[in-house]
Amino acid sequence: MNTKKATVVTDGQGRTLRAGAFRPGRMHDQTAVRTEGTADLFTQFPDVRAKVDAGYRGLAKEFPDQVQAPPLKPKKDAPPEEVAAWDQARHRQSSERICVEHANAEHKQWRTLQRYLGRREDFDETYTAIAVLVSDRAAER
């Protein structure tokens, strides 16, 4: 009931490009991206590429040339070489996405977001303000 999430878009260097698609914590990531209209941007801009986490796997299926999600985990009875290949592919994709995870963590380093105690109605504006400050600071580096 009280949890809220934000969808954060960063560039390859981990600089925040957009923080939005705020939604209740119970709403699935992909649902938020669709209702916000972010998914439509892949149709409008076919040259855009994205690396996403497992919550956006359906988006990766819909736009396979543009969106890259982590590989599916092999079944329990999969041969060891298949498990090893999966682990290697998962690690490679995770390493490529680390800048995004660092950007998300940088927002949450601000005390205001560590344990947000304000009104839910104000969360979106507060998060956006912090994302702008983080983005401006990253641009100076």
pLDDT digits 0-9 by tens, 7-55: 888 887 778 888 887 888 888 888 888 888 878 888 999 998 888 888 8
Query: What phi, psi does 73 have (nearest 5°)?
Result: -70, 135
Hey, how many other C-beta atoms are within 10 angstroms of the C-beta on 119?
8
Which residue type occupies 75? K
CA distance 93 to 115: 30
- The two structure tokens encoding residue 66: 């543009």
The pLDDT assigned to 86 comes to: 92
Domain positions in the chain are: 4-140
DSSP state, residue 72: P
Hey, how many other C-beta atoms are within 10 angstroms of the C-beta on 16?
24
The pLDDT assigned to 63 comes to: 92
CA distance 57 to 44: 20
The pLDDT assigned to 107 comes to: 83
Q: Is the pLDDT of residue 77 over 90?
A: yes
- Give residue 64's pLDDT band: very low, low, confident or very high (50, 70, 90): very high
Burial track 35-66 (b if 16+ CB lie within 10 A, e otherwise): eeebbeebeeeeeeebbbeebbbbbbeebeeb
What are the respective helix, strand and coil percentages of the chain, to the nearest 5? Answer: 55, 15, 30
Beta bridge partners of 68: 51
